[in-house]
Amino acid sequence: MSAIGDVALGDDGKPSPHVHAVLGLSDGTTRGGHLLDGIVRPTLEITLVEAPGHLRRSRRPELGVALIDLDA
């Protein structure tokens, strides 16, 4: 139904997607949250917009997550 997020470089230099999604189930209900994995049938349409700067995600051990580093 909808998804929005970003793709930043992780600490390992590889692309790291972060996607929030609302998905429709076969019974008509919805579920929302972080998209970790998925199967698309029959098609998927994605629009990517390039940011003027490069996003870099750095692990923050004190928080237990990787966040976009605005100083990178």
Amino acid at 72: A
Determine contact, residues 65/11, Cβ cutoff 8 Å.
no
Helix (H, G, I), strand (E, B) or coil at 22: strand
Average confidence (pLDDT) over 2-11:
90
Residue 41 banded pLDDT, cuts 50, 70, 90: confident
Report the predicted TM-score, pTM, of the whole model to 2 decimal places: 0.71
Find, among 13, 21, 11, the residue nearest to 65 by Cα: 11
What are the counts of helices (DSSP H) followed by strands (DSSP E) for the chain? 0, 5
Q: Model confidence over 11-30: pLDDT tens digits?
A: 898 998 999 999 889 999 99
How would residue 3 be classed by pLDDT, with cut points 50, 70 and 90? very high
- Rounded-to-integer distance, Cα 19 and Cα 2, Å: 10
Mean pLDDT, to the nearest integer, of 34-50? Answer: 88
pLDDT at 62: 95
